[in-house]
């Protein structure tokens, strides 16, 4: 034996040697006892851990206290003067349109480009289901080959004295292949072969052969098992469900932005009306002081009231521009083409802000959030998919050990007589031939499959930590939102009382101004508005007007904050979709493939102006 061949023989001996018993035992453990097989147990244990952690969170100290009966009664008597005017046109000749929040929800769901972006996500994820199912679709195949040999013969005895071997071969093979749920690949095929040669190896020297065969290649370690195949299908379904949950979450967030923009526009219109009323209250003072300038009014008082008038006019201009910006924001969120087609110049919120409190506990909010929030459903699906991927990676990291079996029957006929060869093969089908073998492939060292397994294990741990972080965020969000909901209502009641006090103060200061009283109750009555007492009374009157305007603005802001907080609370509880009756359905009749729609029955009607 040559020394150069010894390394090769050693390598062959190593590969052919049986695996150590411990390694083989580990292979079969990973094959039949992996994360995919135990996915139900692993996911159930993880959910139990999350429930235990959530149970500890229920024992945290209470947050903001519930509103008292007096605060609820104060809010119940709330009747702001600007609610009705805010629902009426402000700008003359602007082609106004009164819209409700429900109409804008419908408009955004139908027309918003951002919602359409979200709607494509579940449709994209659903293609994974068809992709996995396509792995098991039967495939027809066909192969053809033509060989031509013209070379010196090794022996003239082989070619009947001819110094050259001349041989022409033509072959064709066709059949069906299909992958099974066990991981096996089944091939049913037919092969025809025609040969024309001067070699004595073929008698007759012109003949055709046929072979009909059934071949099965069944993996026993890598890529094997029904659980492995089912994991692929389940991962695809889980990805599709997470896409639908993501669509719902993004849609709810977008509609919440529509609600915030809607009530922000209502607040801006209310603020404009308040500033306009404040500006109008300055006009009589300017007119009166201007008329009495030559009688008993000095220039300082007139300049003071004119400065207040100019300042209030500037604020009025800024408030008018803010309304336009709010309308632009609302148009951008809905993308409703009807606004431009109808040349709508002014959007008027038709709904009144909320003033009714509904008692909700933190425990009830968390129970609803865990049961209905799309984020929770999404994280559970992601965790199970990650566990299944880890189990599949365990199977993929095993050595390749395949069993190969084949049953075949063959026939022969004259050259070009394929049907004769086929019939001859059928006559011999009672004694078929066969093949039985195996294929073993063991990596020496760490290969890419082992690296993927390590990554899958880290990804599962990351998903578990991410799930805990998401649950903690949901708990914090629920607590913050509930506190905001409670404090917003209590602030609403307090702002109402503050506005009533400011109204009383303005009535007193107005009466004092009209009667010409001094700066304090201890001064004697002085008819007229001359002197330091008159100037002080004017300052008190202007300040009282400013204080009332500020109190009204704070009350309107509290109204908007409480209304948005109520909507946000429903979103945090996971009941926003049910409350607004939003249905998510798959649409098949789109020109570029399926998509998903979010609709509120009944369908949106044409706006009434």
- Given a cut of 90, whether residue 290 has pLDDT beyond it is no
Q: Which two tokens stand for residue 502?
A: 């400011």
Q: In this predicted structure, what is the pLDDT of residue 404?
A: 95
The CA distance from 384 to 235, in Å, is 8
Q: What ranges make up the beta strands (E) of 67-163?
A: 96-99, 139-152
Query: Exposed/middle/buried for 490, CB within 10 Å: 0-12, 13-18, 19+?
Result: buried
Q: In this predicted structure, what is the pLDDT of residue 195?
A: 93
Nearest to 480 by CA among 1, 46, 60, 197: 60
Structural domains present in the chain: 69-131+229-388+455-599 (1.20.1600.10), 139-225+399-446 (no CATH)
Lowest model confidence (mean pLDDT) among 227-241, 438-452, 557-571: 438-452
* DSSP character at residue 428: T
Per residue in 134-160, is it b (16+ CB within 10 Å) or e — as a string? eeeeeeeeeeeeeeeeeeebeeeeebe
Number of CB atoms found within 10 A of residue 499's CB: 22
* pLDDT, mean of residues 371-392: 93
Q: In this predicted structure, what is the pLDDT of residue 58?
A: 59
Q: Give, to the nearest 10 degrees, the angle between helix 69-76 and helix 448-515.
A: 70
The CA distance from 391 to 394, in Å, is 5
The predicted-structure confidence for 193-208, as pLDDT tens digits, reads as follows 999 988 888 888 889 9
Nearest to 269 by CA among 83, 97, 103: 83
The predicted-structure confidence for 219-255, as pLDDT tens digits, reads as follows 999 888 899 999 999 999 999 999 999 999 999 999 9
- pLDDT class of 33 with cuts at 50, 70, 90: confident
64: Cβ contacts below 8 Å, ≥ 6 apart: 482, 483, 486, 487, 490
Three-state SS sequence of 550-600: HHHHHHHHHHHHHHHHHHHHHHHHCCHHHHCCCEEEEECCCCCCCEEEEEC
Mean predicted lDDT score pLDDT of the chain: 86
Report yes or no: 251 and 122 within 8 Å, Cβ to Cβ. no
Angle at 71 between CA 65 and CA 74, to 5 degrees: 165
The CA distance from 462 to 389, in Å, is 13
- pLDDT class of 11 with cuts at 50, 70, 90: very low
Phi-psi region of 335 (alpha: psi -120 to 50; beta: other; left: phi over 0): left
* pLDDT, mean of residues 276-304: 78
The predicted-structure confidence for 502-554, as pLDDT tens digits, reads as follows 999 999 988 888 776 544 444 444 434 455 666 778 888 889 999 999 999 99
The predicted-structure confidence for 321-377, as pLDDT tens digits, reads as follows 999 999 999 999 999 999 988 888 899 999 999 988 999 988 888 889 988 999 999
The CA distance from 66 to 359, in Å, is 8
pTM summary value: 0.82
Report yes or no: 480 and 522 within 8 Å, Cβ to Cβ. no
Q: In this predicted structure, what is the pLDDT of residue 300?
A: 76
């Amino acid at each position: 034996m040559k020394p150069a061949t010894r390394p090769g023989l050693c390598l062959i001996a190593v590969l052919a040697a049986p695996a150590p018993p411990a390694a083989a035992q580990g292979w079969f453990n990973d094959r039949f006892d992996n994360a995919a097989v135990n996915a139900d147990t692993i996911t159930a244990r993880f959910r139990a851990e999350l429930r235990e952690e959530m149970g500890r969170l229920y024992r945290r100290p209470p947050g903001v206290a519930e509103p008292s009966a007096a605060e609820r009664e104060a809010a119940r008597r709330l009747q702001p003067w600007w609610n009705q005017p805010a629902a009426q046109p402000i700008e003359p000749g602007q082609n106004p349109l009164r819209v409700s929040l429900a109409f804008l929800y419908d408009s955004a769901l139908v027309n918003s480009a951002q919602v359409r972006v979200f709607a494509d996500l579940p449709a994209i994820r659903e293609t994974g289901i068809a992709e996995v199912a396509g792995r098991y679709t039967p495939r027809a195949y066909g192969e053809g080959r033509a060989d031509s040999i013209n070379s010196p013969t090794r022996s003239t005895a082989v070619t009947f004295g001819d110094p050259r071997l001349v041989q022409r071969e033509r072959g064709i093979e066709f059949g069906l292949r299909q992958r099974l749920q066990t991981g096996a690949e089944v091939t049913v095929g037919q092969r025809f072969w025609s040969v024309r040669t001067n070699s004595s190896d073929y008698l007759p020297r012109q003949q055709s052969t046929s072979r009909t065969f059934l071949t099965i290649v069944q993996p026993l370690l890598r890529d094997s098992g029904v659980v492995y195949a089912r994991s692929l299908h389940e991962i695809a379904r889980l990805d599709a469900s997470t896409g639908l949950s993501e669509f719902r979450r993004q849609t709810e967030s977008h509609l919440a932005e529509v609600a915030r923009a809607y009530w922000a526009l209502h607040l801006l219109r209310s603020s404009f009306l308040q500033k306009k009323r404040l500006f109008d209250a300055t006009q009589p003072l300017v007119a009166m002081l201007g008329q009495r300038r030559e009688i008993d009014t000095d220039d300082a008082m007139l300049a003071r009231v004119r400065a207040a008038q100019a300042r209030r006019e500037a604020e009025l201009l800024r408030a008018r521009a803010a309304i336009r910006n709010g309308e632009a924001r609302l148009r951008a969120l809905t993308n409703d083409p009807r606004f431009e087609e109808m040349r709508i110049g002014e959007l008027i919120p038709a709904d009144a802000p909320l003033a009714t409190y509904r008692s909700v506990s933190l425990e009830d909010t968390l129970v609803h959030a865990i049961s209905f929030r799309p984020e929770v459903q999404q994280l559970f699906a992601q965790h199970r998919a990650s566990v299944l991927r880890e189990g599949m990676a365990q199977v993929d990291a095993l050595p390749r050990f395949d069993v190969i079996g084949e049953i075949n029957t063959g026939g022969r006929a004259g050259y070009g007589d394929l049907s004769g060869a086929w019939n001859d093969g059928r006559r011999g089908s009672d004694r078929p031939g066969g093949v039985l073998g195996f294929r073993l492939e063991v990596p020496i060292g760490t290969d890419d499959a082992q690296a993927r397994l390590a990554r899958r294990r880290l990804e599962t741990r990351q998903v578990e930590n991410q799930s805990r972080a998401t649950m903690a965020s949901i708990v914090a969000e629920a607590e913050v939102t509930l506190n905001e909901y409670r404090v917003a209502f209590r602030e609403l009641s307090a702002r109402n009382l503050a506005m009533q006090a400011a109204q009383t103060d303005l009535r007193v200061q107005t009466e004092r101004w009209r009667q010409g009283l001094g700066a304090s109750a201890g001064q004697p009555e002085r008819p007229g508005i001359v002197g330091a007492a008159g100037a002080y009374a004017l300052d008190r009157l202007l300040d009282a007007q400013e204080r009332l305007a500020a109190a009204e603005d704070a009350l309107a802001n509290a109204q908007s904050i409480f209304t948005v907080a109520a909507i946000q609370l429903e979103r945090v509880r996971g009941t926003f979709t049910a409350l607004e009756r939003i249905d998510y359905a798959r649409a098949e009749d789109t020109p570029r493939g399926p998509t998903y729609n979010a609709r509120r029955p009944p369908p949106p009607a044409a706006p009434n102006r």
